[in-house]
Amino acid sequence: MLNAERAPVTGKRVQLMATCLCDAFYDDVAAATVEVLEHLGVEVIFPEGQTCCGQPAFNGGDWVASRKVVRHTVKTFAGDEPVVVPSGSCAAMMFHGAVLEFENESDLPEVEALGRRTWELGDFIVNGLGVKTWPGKFAATVALHRACHTRGTGSIAAANLLLKSIVGVQVVEFGEVEQCCGFGGTFSVAFPNISTAMGALKLDHLRAAKPDILVSPDMSCMMHLTGLAAKEGQPIKAMHLAQVLRDALKAQ
Amino acid sequence: MTAPDDRESILSRVRGALAPLHERAPLPDYSTEIAVMRSLVAGRDLVELLGERMKRVNGLALTEVAALVAHLRAGGWLHGYCDPVLWPRLAPHFGAELKVETEFDRTRVDDYAFGITRAAGAIAESGTLILHDATTSRRLAALTPWVHVAVVERAQIFSDLPQAVAALGRDPNVIWCTGPSKTADVEGILIEGVHGPGQQIALVLG
Amino acid sequence: MRFQQFDQFAAELKADTRAAVYDGSKKGHEKRTKLLFDEYPDPNRLRHLAGEIKQHVIENLDTYLPAVEAKMKANGVQVHWAGTAEAANEAVLRIMRARGATKLVKAKTMVSEETELAAFLEKHGIEALETDLGEFIVQIDGDHPSHIVKPIIHKNRREIAQSFEREGLGAYNDDPATITQRARKFLRHKYLVADVGLTGANFVSAESGRMVLVTNEGNSRFCLAATKCHIAMIGIEKIVPRDYDLALFLNLLARSATAQELTVYTEFISGPKSPVQPDGPEVMHVIFVDNGRTEVLASTCREILRCIRCGACLNVCPVYRQASGHAYRSVYPGPVGAVLSPLLMGDKFPQKADLPKASSLCGACNEVCPVNIPIPDLLLRLRNRAKEENVPSPGTPPMGAWALLASQPLAWRASLLGGKLIDYVPTKLIPVPALQAWAAKRALPAWRGGEFRKWLKARRK
């Protein structure tokens, strides 16, 4: 389903798309992304004018509003460096969602071009840069959440590969891994009962596997699951993939 | 009998809907081999494989008439129907205990505990029996009794689905039967013998 | 309306109904997946291929439909065309009246559910009996199916036993085997006195005009063994190009629908019975039904016409599992229904424009679809259509102001700093009810607006 074809990576300079969730809540995930990329010898450019990928309006059906934001994003991320995003859903928005909503627009080629150079972080490290192992140490049992927007991409395999290569990390499987956490953006607002029930089910499966940490390649699922768990009075510890990679480096 | 305008208006709407397409999706070129469970089928004796695969769907393959007779006796299925063409071949093995009619009376469907008809073939890969209008003496006789026995000639067993599709032929009605009639409508629990037979048996001869 | 009706329905669902739907669909999905991946090195290739074949068909219906018609006529089939549900029902009635027929037995066909054929015929004095066990139970209960292949997934055995008792089919007994035997005993004599057997078709081969019908129970075979007249109601999208393609589709359908390698009865019908065969229809009618399909074909969602009605997308769907099929208020529930049902409404699209929103867009449906329909993309297109047609949608925040903010970097950065307020607003005071419900169940992380940019600036110095 996804237009997941990527232009091969040449050079060691990328633009960072930090995402609105990092801008507002998860500053440490963006910081970890910078540190991880710099560790790999990659120069990170942060286009200051960036805002959001346009996904909320796209999913909500307001494509006029969404296209306005995407056009801003296309302008902001001009150039030909790869664009790296610590979020599977924002990456998918760029290489799939935006392409869909620009189908009949004259600036479709520009949108497609940005899509072809946009990468989710783990996918970029493994499939873009060809890095297959991760140094350092991180002593924890982790469960890797399959963020839905990574379906059909290399992201989950990449995250698994990196996590399993870290000394001290033990990856545990849990039930119904392919099922959604129930977030779905505006879905969780308009369908709060179903969304909550889906999240509770995911939490049940996760807790049964008894990981120390839930690792996610996407902040939105993480926000949903930790938010639900906290309100239940049984908080779970969650980290973004970038944070685990960064912390592993620190323990080198 | 048809209101003629519906045909034209539907086709015209179809043409109108497709007109804006710059190109039409092509028919992909492929081999049905990709839909065959080749590792299962390759190099196997087809009678043996048919038996295995039928067992998997709770069917039963027998190779001797005596075994069939014993099975019917053991199950208490003592009254049934047999295709008149088959009967001379089978009769010597059927004792007096079993009552067999060679005329099927649809007003007495509940009287027949078993029905023996000819199959036009079988598919080993799926454990399937193939019935044709031309060779199955009565559609009802193969459907309404609790036990259906289809007599298959050894040489008529296809290895896989694509082979059997290629051999569909000109009979206006071909039906593949893969195990007994079944349902899981009530709480997902498998129950056999819904409208058709609760036992599907292949008698492989020749 | 504060909330989506769909979400309310799910919230009010009886616990045992939800459990039945959840367990049934989860089991179905798991068995399907195991079977496909155990038997084929690359089952995804099969799905993609089947999708390409069906896409080819729907984009060439203008040539395939007349071709099929010609083949069928040459095979001795009488072909009719019905633009609407009413026309399709009328066609059945006309055929029956012309024969002086008063009793019809029908196999499970989704298109006849669309047209509400059984109710229509009953109104015109014709006995129209559902013979699929699940559909029969739905019929005696005056209920609606809630799943495409498991119509009574929402019912338990106790409810069914009560219905049987009420209908005089025997004293209360909730053993599924007993229930099935009672239906067998009752229905077999109904088939034998019926005048007409009505079925749908799972596939129609354009090359041969052969239609293919699959059932597990054998009820469609019984319809075609006991009656003298066969009427098949067929959606115009049911075509496959050649007999050759059937092996692929039959393999995929059985595995996707019921996790079987092959459905028990697979019937290939190219015309009335053979003259040498005593049982079966002497006359065969096919009614090709549009009922909104040409409008779907003209839309940007035409891929949904690839659907082979297997129900795999329902089984995997986390929303379907929570809400059950009746939440969709349509013949087609689940992800496929969320696309198809509003489209089939035609001008009345707004009445079901909420269905495409009842999805977290997780994409699991696309991953299991045997014809690889990009369901999430189609849901998104329909959300966009709903917005363009200004259909009100509870719980969907307006995006105009947000888009303005997100395309002006200075304003964006200012709001990152101002967003801190969110930490101090108590849940009860959130002005949007749906957001309130959201926040009642989920803690938001602490606001850290602008912190990353600050950090990066300091690091770069």
Residue A218: which CATH number? Answer: 3.40.50
Percent of chain B at pLDDT above 90? 96
Q: Is residue A5 assigned to a domain?
A: no
**For residues B50 and B61, is the Cβ–Cβ distance under 8 A?**
yes
Q: Are residues C368 and C421 in the same domain?
A: no
Among C385, C390, C384, C364, residue whose Cα is nearest residue C376? C364
Q: For residues C436 and A112, what is the distance between their CA atoms, to the nearest angstrom?
A: 37
Chains that touch A (3 or more CB pairs under 8 A): C
Q: Average pLDDT of A55-75?
A: 96
Instruction: Write out pLDDT tens, residues C186-225.
Output: 999 999 999 999 999 999 999 999 999 999 999 999 999 9
Residue C105 clears pLDDT 70, i.e. is over it: yes
Please state the domain count of chain A.
2
Percent of chain C at pLDDT above 70? 98
Q: Is residue C35 assigned to a domain?
A: no
Q: Is residue C400 assigned to a domain?
A: no
Q: Which of A103, A127, A151 is the last residue of a domain?
A: A127
Whole-number pLDDT of residue A138: 98
Q: Is residue B16 assigned to a domain?
A: no
**Which of A89, A191, A231 best tests the C interface by mutation, with the highest count of C CBs <10 A?**
A191
Q: Is B188 on the interface with C (CB under 8 A)?
A: yes
Q: Are residues A192 and A179 in the same domain?
A: yes
Confidence tier at B4 by pLDDT (50, 70, 90): low
Contact: B184, C150; criterion CB under 8 Å: yes
Q: For residues C214 and C220, what is the distance between their CA atoms, to the nearest angstrom?
A: 8
For position B108, which CATH number holds? 3.40.50.10420
> Using a CB-CB distance cutoff of 8 angstroms, which residues of chain A are in contact with residue C402?
56-57, 65
> Using a CB-CB distance cutoff of 8 angstroms, which residues of chain C are in contact with residue A193?
7-8, 10-11, 437
**For residues B97 and B91, is the Cβ–Cβ distance under 8 A?**
no
Whole-number pLDDT of residue A1: 43
Whole-number pLDDT of residue C191: 98
Of C2 and C184, which is predicted with more confidence?
C184
Beta-bridge mates of residue B152: B204
Min Cα distance A195 → chain C (Å) is 8
Instruction: Write out pLDDT tens, residues B107-126.
Output: 999 999 999 999 999 999 99
Q: Which of A98, A127, A156 is the last residue of a domain?
A: A127
Q: Are residues C132 and C191 in the same domain?
A: yes
> Using a CB-CB distance cutoff of 8 angstroms, which residues of chain A are in contact with residue C381?
100
Min Cα distance B146 → chain C (Å) is 11
Q: What are phi and psi of C214, to 5 degrees?
A: -120, 135
Whole-number pLDDT of residue C432: 60
Q: Is residue C394 assigned to a domain?
A: no
> Residue written as tokens 């089947």?
C50
Percent of chain C at pLDDT above 90? 89
Q: Average pLDDT of C414-435?
A: 73
Contact: C318, A56; criterion CB under 8 Å: no
Instruction: Write out pLDDT tens, residues C24-61.
Output: 999 999 999 999 998 898 999 999 999 999 999 999 99
Instruction: Write out pLDDT tens, residues A3-35.
Output: 667 888 988 999 999 999 999 999 999 999 999
Confidence tier at C428 by pLDDT (50, 70, 90): low
Instruction: Write out pLDDT tens, residues B134-159.
Output: 999 999 999 999 999 999 999 999 99
Q: Average pLDDT of C302-306?
A: 98
Torsion sign across C-alpha atoms B16, B17, B21, B24: negative
Whole-number pLDDT of residue A226: 97
> How big is the CA angle at B88 (ends B83 and B92), to the nearest 5 degrees?
120
Q: Are residues A139 and A229 in the same domain?
A: yes
Contact: B196, C218; criterion CB under 8 Å: yes
What are C169's two structure tokens? 């089919």
**Which of C185, C261, C299 best tests the B interface by mutation, with the highest count of B CBs <10 A?**
C261
Whole-number pLDDT of residue B1: 47
Helix, strand, coil percent content, chain B, rounded in steps of 5: 35, 25, 45
> Using a CB-CB distance cutoff of 8 angstroms, which residues of chain B are in contact with residue C131?
195
A33 burial type by CB count under 10 A (0-12 exposed, 13-18 middle, 19+ buried)? buried
Q: Is residue A7 assigned to a domain?
A: no
Among C344, C348, C313, residue whose Cα is nearest residue C331? C344
For position C138, which CATH number holds? 3.40.50.10420
**Residue of chain B whose Cα is closest to the Cα of C136:** B185
Q: Are residues A104 and A163 in the same domain?
A: no
Q: What are phi and psi of C272, to 5 degrees?
A: -60, 165
Q: Which of C318, C358, C363 sits opposite A182 (nearest CB)?
A: C318
Whole-number pLDDT of residue C394: 85
Instruction: Write out pLDDT tens, residues C136-149.
Output: 999 999 999 999 99
> Using a CB-CB distance cutoff of 8 angstroms, which residues of chain A are in contact with residue C398?
62
Q: Is C445 on the interface with A (CB under 8 A)?
A: yes
Confidence tier at C77 by pLDDT (50, 70, 90): very high
> Using a CB-CB distance cutoff of 8 angstroms, which residues of chain C are in contact with residue A27?
448, 451-452, 455
> Between residues 43 and 72 of chain B, which touch chain C (CB distance below 8 Å)?
57
Q: Are residues A178 and A226 in the same domain?
A: yes
Q: How far is CA A193 from the centre of its chain?
A: 25
Instruction: Write out pLDDT tens, residues C352-411.
Output: 999 999 999 999 999 999 999 999 999 999 999 999 999 998 887 888 888 999 999 999
**Residue of chain A whose Cα is closest to the Cα of C8:** A193
For chains A and C, CB pairs below 8 A equal 223
Of C440 and C114, which is predicted with more confidence?
C114
Q: For residues A247 and A166, what is the distance between their CA atoms, to the nearest angstrom?
A: 11
Q: Is residue A2 assigned to a domain?
A: no
Q: Are residues C127 and C206 in the same domain?
A: yes
Q: Are residues C100 and C174 in the same domain?
A: yes
Contact: A231, C441; criterion CB under 8 Å: yes
Alpha helices in C334-446, H assignment, sequence order: 334-344, 364-368, 375-388, 400-405, 409-418, 433-441
Q: Are residues C105 and C129 in the same domain?
A: yes
> Residue C335's domain spans which residues?
5-12+294-388
Helical packing angle, A155-165 and A241-250, nearest 10°: 20
> Between residues 159 and 178 of chain C, which touch chain A (CB distance below 8 Å)?
none
Confidence tier at B206 by pLDDT (50, 70, 90): confident
Confidence tier at C435 by pLDDT (50, 70, 90): low
Q: Is residue A34 assigned to a domain?
A: yes
For position C358, which CATH number holds? 1.10.1060.10
Q: Are residues A145 and A112 in the same domain?
A: no
Q: Is residue A228 assigned to a domain?
A: yes
Q: Which of C247, C276, C291 is the last residue of a domain?
A: C291
Q: For residues A244 and A139, what is the distance between their CA atoms, to the nearest angstrom?
A: 10
Q: Which of C434, C437, C442 sits opposite A228 (nearest CB)?
A: C442
Q: Which of B26, B162, B172 sits opposite C273 (nearest CB)?
A: B172
* Mean of per-residue pLDDT scores for chain C: 95
> Residue A38's domain spans which residues?
13-127
**Which of C360, C366, C420, C448 best tests the A interface by mutation, with the highest count of A CBs <10 A?**
C360
Q: Are residues C305 and C432 in the same domain?
A: no
Q: Are residues C214 and C187 in the same domain?
A: yes
Q: Are residues A122 and A138 in the same domain?
A: no
Please state the domain count of chain C.
3
> Residue written as tokens 């229509």?
C120
Q: Is residue A8 assigned to a domain?
A: no
Residue B2 clears pLDDT 60, i.e. is over it: no
Contact: A34, C3; criterion CB under 8 Å: no
C12 burial type by CB count under 10 A (0-12 exposed, 13-18 middle, 19+ buried)? exposed
**Residue of chain A whose Cα is closest to the Cα of C413:** A51
Q: For residues C374 and C371, what is the distance between their CA atoms, to the nearest angstrom?
A: 9
Please state the domain count of chain B.
1
Q: Is residue B60 assigned to a domain?
A: yes
